[in-house]
Amino acid sequence: MRPRPEKTRSLAAREQPVALDIPEWNPREHALHFRGLVVKHFSHEALNQELLLSAFEVACWPLTIEFHFAPKVGASAKVRLRETINNLNRSVAPHLHFFQEGNGRRIGWRPSRKRRAT
């Protein structure tokens, strides 16, 4: 017996990501939005963090992206990227969490599992 079409549609709709669960980076406002909230607003220049957020925005927020910084004298690109992610995570918690995986050039994001005490 085949499922009724309305049940099939509702199952498919449940598998689709909800638009509010996708972050949105607005470079003009220097603001990161998630679930209807501004979770990060840069009042001072944070070029590395903004470059990373722009890369996710351009790619339409897949769960992971390949990302790396250009080499810079006196600074490892992997260390700069790790520091960038750590700085970003400090400011977007408890809403989002960014992480490195694989060879350190694949960057991912997910809604944070931690909740701050109120």
- Write out the chain's pLDDT in tens, 118 residues: 444 444 444 444 444 455 568 999 999 999 999 999 999 999 998 999 999 999 999 999 999 999 988 877 777 888 899 999 999 999 999 999 999 998 778 999 999 876 555 4
Check residue 41 and give its pLDDT.
Answer: 96
DSSP string for residues in 15-81? HSPPGGGS-EEETTTTEEEETTEEEEE-SS--HHHHHHHHHHHHTT--SEEE--PPPBTTB-HHHHH
Per-residue model confidence (pLDDT) at position 10: 43
Q: Quick one: pLDDT at residue 69?
A: 85
Separation of first and last alpha carbons in the chain: 51
pLDDT of residue 51: 95
Q: Is the pTM of this model over 0.85?
A: no
Question: What pLDDT, on the 0 to 100 scale, is given for residue 23?
Answer: 97
What per-residue confidence (pLDDT) applies to 75?
A: 77
pLDDT at residue 64 in the model: 96
d(CA 53, CA 76): 20
**Which of 78, 81, 89, 84 lies closest to 111 in space, CA to CA?**
89
CA distances for 79 relative to 15, 56, 82, angstroms: 36, 20, 5
What pLDDT is stored for residue 113 in this prediction?
Answer: 75
Task: Give residue 76's pLDDT.
Answer: 83
